[in-house]
Amino acid sequence: MDDPGRVGLLGTYPPRRCGIATFTRDLGVGMTAADQTIKPLVVAVTDEGSKYEYAPEVEYEIRQGTKSNYARAAELVNYKAVRWVSLQHEYGIFGGDDGAYILDFLAALRLPAAVTLHTVLDNPSPSQRTIVQKMAKAAVLVVMSQVAADLLAAAYELPISRVEIIPHGIPDMSPRDQSTLKAGFGVARQRMLLTFGLLGPNKGIETVIRALPALVATYPDLVYFVVGATHPAVLRQHGEAYRTSLEWLAEQLGVREHVVFRDQYVTTPELCSYLQAADIFVSPYLNEAQVTSGALSYAMGAGAAVVSTPYWHAKELLADGRGRLFPFGDSVALANTVGALFHDPAELARVRQRGYQHTRAFTWSEVGRQYLRLGEMLERSRTRAQRRREEPRASGLPELRLDHLLRLTDDTGIVQHATFSVPARASGYCVDDNARALIVALHADSLSGSAETKRLVVTYLAFLHAAQTAEGRFRNVMSYARTFVDGTESDDCTGRALWALGTTARLSSDDGQRMLARQMFERGLAFATELGPRGTALTMLGLTAFLARYPEVAPAAELLARLAGRLCRQYRQEATADWRWFESGLTYDNALLPLALWRAHAVTHDPESRDVARESLDFLEACCFANERLVLVGNSGWHVRGGPRAAADEQPTDAAAFVLAFRSGYLVTRDDRYLRRMRQAFSWFLGANRLEAPVYDSATAGCRDGLGERAANLNQGAESTISFLLSLIDMLELAGDGLESVQEAESRP
């Protein structure tokens, strides 16, 4: 009989020389240390052309490039009655484009799973982003820092409920005599700097070497150890060119005798000895986009003082005096920082002690215990899900159908209006609708990747391209004769075009589309500061999408912060205790304003944007929900402060704005109330509204143009249909486990 305490581990595994292999082994040891009844079953991923003598706990081997191995491995784990699986993820260790074969394993697995992300990219390709999103539907994602969790919410739009933070584990290193350890490395009674890890140009070792002349002038007993083999990928492509360049640099600067290169893949005991011998560990990475550094955690856990460049994980770990930061590539600042610590031995000792104490919760036994608690939670959730499947369920989401969108779209763009379900071609086209339709097509293409969705993306993008003038403005209306109508520019038209173009830059898989969208987007931004509140909010949505793809574009980030600040100021000027809103009246697309601030906060982390988004959305919620149903402000008079509120002519675009705003509010706050309200707002389309009349037409896959005083408007124009599809896509992106979270939230008191 299989042991009831078995936990599956999937990743690379020793004797393969790989950081993730070491992590997988150490995690299994940590789980066993936390609970001796646990016995890991390991599935090891083997790189092409290699053969390893694995330990007995390895019961299955996946050949990296053999697709069929992945599903077979899952079937083995299912058969062995393992309780749950911990999977270590790095794009490069699995087969397929961007490691996509691992999705076959998850699809065939019938057990709860947790996927530990060892890399979270701030600017993923569409393929990489899709892989992470699909993994999040099949498993809980584990990251090792808060910044990584924030990145998954902002750049991947994943609900916080699918992400857990568990730190990188470290050995439990009891203090040892530093003098004895130094003597073992031949540097008795000398000062010792250390950097370790697989060697490659992104490590920034040259920054440290350039700092040595100034340091050695004051501290001639200083020795800098660079410990680690060259990264296999670097070795295959460039050989030892980087290591040779470092040796040459040290020679040129006259500090070669102060640098010791140890070209070796060290064992964990050897590494601990190096770390505990070092006075200061230097982490000189050249790029801030580093969400996890096991080396940093190990060094702090060994009691070394840490001096680092301000990459994301370093800023988080070294806060509150647990280390020192210096600017990227700044050798002078590094020399000053290290020199100051050597000059003040008492402060050096304090820094070492703060780091050591902070990492007591990072030991492998503690980390193993956290993973086991996560596994227990996954097992309980699976049991609840099985019970839910056995009970009567509420009707599910409609299928994503583009029938009516295609009916309204010709080779020019999407026609504005319809008579019943028939396109009213005489109404022509507008940028407002084609921009919205482009966003729908891009998301639909990322979900299905069909020839139809790709054609729609090209059609709508081409329309926007034709609509933009040389100076960057957008002419809104085109007649059916393909002639633009002068004087039809508007704030909303500009903002919606920028939202669509930012989304294209982010989601399109076509390089040409992305380049064109970026050109048009940057040209249109020249007018971003001239727009009213809704045009500003729409532009902010475009900026947040654009920055998800191009975070390095500082002017875009600065403009986003400036526009968010302007919206917040307008809110503070207008809002009162009983009217928490940006204007003196509620009109159309109201929830766009808090939506834009939620998304801006996810990028800028500005607390005022978050607070104003929450206050204003809560105000809208109080105004627009009655008996757990959405009742929109009608456009037959709106709602002016102190005056009567119009009921007739509720618009689908307003309901869609609520769906999107509640989802973004949840991603920022984790407040389940927003999930429940998101579902209720979407249900407005399905008949949970003032008239109890369905607005979505399942026969045509179109959406009626709103709710009049006594009946629905039976025409199915572009704006209404696109609003429904935008809402449905947002709901579908929370499908699977994410949708379960919505339904669970609805069932809570």
- For position 387, what pLDDT does the model report? 44
- For position 448, what pLDDT does the model report? 73
* Residue 642 zone, left/alpha/beta (φ > 0; ψ -120 to 50; rest): left
What's the whole-number mean pLDDT along residues 607-625? 96
- For position 1, what pLDDT does the model report? 35
User: Nearest 5°: CA angle at 503, between 719 and 560?
Assistant: 105
Alpha-carbon span 61 to 667, nearest angstrom: 38
Cβ(39)–Cβ(32) below 8 Å: yes
Domain ranges of the chain: 6-169+365-387, 178-360, 428-552, 580-749
Q: What is the CATH number of domain 6-169+365-387?
A: 3.40.50.2000
Q: Rounded to a whole number, what is the distance in angstroms from the first to the last CA of the chain?
A: 43
- For position 34, what pLDDT does the model report? 94
What's the whole-number mean pLDDT along residues 708-716? 94
What's the whole-number mean pLDDT along residues 22-36? 95
Alpha-carbon span 418 to 402, nearest angstrom: 16
- For position 4, what pLDDT does the model report? 52
Alpha-carbon span 90 to 170, nearest angstrom: 19
- For position 75, what pLDDT does the model report? 87
- For position 744, what pLDDT does the model report? 39
- For position 232, what pLDDT does the model report? 77
Alpha-carbon span 449 to 407, nearest angstrom: 19
pLDDT in tens, 255-289: 999 999 999 888 889 999 999 999 999 999 998 87
- For position 18, what pLDDT does the model report? 84
Alpha-carbon span 559 to 150, nearest angstrom: 21
What's the whole-number mean pLDDT along residues 211-223? 97
The segment with the largest mean pLDDT, out of 81-95, 303-317, 429-443, 446-460, is: 429-443
- For position 188, what pLDDT does the model report? 94
Q: pLDDT above 70 covers what percent of the chain? A: 95
Q: Whose CA is closest to 197, among 297, 48, 94?
A: 297
pLDDT band at residue 738, thresholds of 50, 70 and 90? very low
Mind spelling out the 3-state secondary structure of 114-156? EEEECCCCCCCCHHHHHHHHHHHHHCEEEECCHHHHHHHHHHC
- For position 383, what pLDDT does the model report? 59
Q: What is the CATH number of domain 580-749?
A: 1.50.10.20
Q: Whose CA is closest to 102, among 125, 73, 80?
A: 73
- For position 734, what pLDDT does the model report? 66
Q: Reply yes or no on whether the pLDDT at 391 is more than 50.
A: no
Q: Reply yes or no on whether the pLDDT at 736 is more than 50.
A: no
- For position 326, what pLDDT does the model report? 96
Q: pTM (2 decimals)?
A: 0.54
Alpha-carbon span 524 to 497, nearest angstrom: 9
Q: Whose CA is closest to 74, among 38, 112, 46?
A: 112
Q: Reply yes or no on whether the pLDDT at 518 is more than 50.
A: yes
Mean pLDDT of the chain: 91
What's the whole-number mean pLDDT along residues 39-49? 93
Q: Reply yes or no on whether the pLDDT at 657 is more than 50.
A: yes
pLDDT in tens, 692-707: 999 999 889 999 999 9
Q: Reply yes or no on whether the pLDDT at 749 is more than 70.
A: no
Residue 172 CB neighbour total at 10 angstroms: 16
Higher pLDDT, 400 or 463: 463
- For position 747, what pLDDT does the model report? 36
Cβ(480)–Cβ(428) below 8 Å: yes
Alpha-carbon span 139 to 743, nearest angstrom: 18
- Asked whether the domain spanning 178-360 has the same topology as the one spanning 6-169+365-387, the reply is yes
Residue 67 CB neighbour total at 10 angstroms: 12
- For position 279, what pLDDT does the model report? 96
Alpha-carbon span 264 to 195, nearest angstrom: 13
| Candidate from 382-386, 636-640, 740-744 with smallest mean pLDDT | 740-744
Element (H, E) at 62: strand 58-63
pLDDT in tens, 461-488: 999 999 999 999 999 999 999 999 988 9
- The full DSSP string for 478-491 is E-TTS-BPTT---H
Phi, psi for 707 (deg, rounded to 5): -115, 120
pLDDT band at residue 551, thresholds of 50, 70 and 90? confident
- For position 392, what pLDDT does the model report? 31
pLDDT band at residue 396, thresholds of 50, 70 and 90? low
Which of these CATH numbers, 3.40.50.2000, 3.40.50.1220, 3.90.1150.10, 3.30.70.580, describes 178-360?
A: 3.40.50.2000
Alpha-carbon span 707 to 648, nearest angstrom: 7
| Candidate from 117-121, 177-181, 234-238, 288-292 with smallest mean pLDDT | 288-292
What's the whole-number mean pLDDT along residues 303-322? 92
The segment with the largest mean pLDDT, out of 15-19, 357-361, 617-621, is: 617-621
Q: What is the DSSP letter of 198?
A: S
- For position 268, what pLDDT does the model report? 86
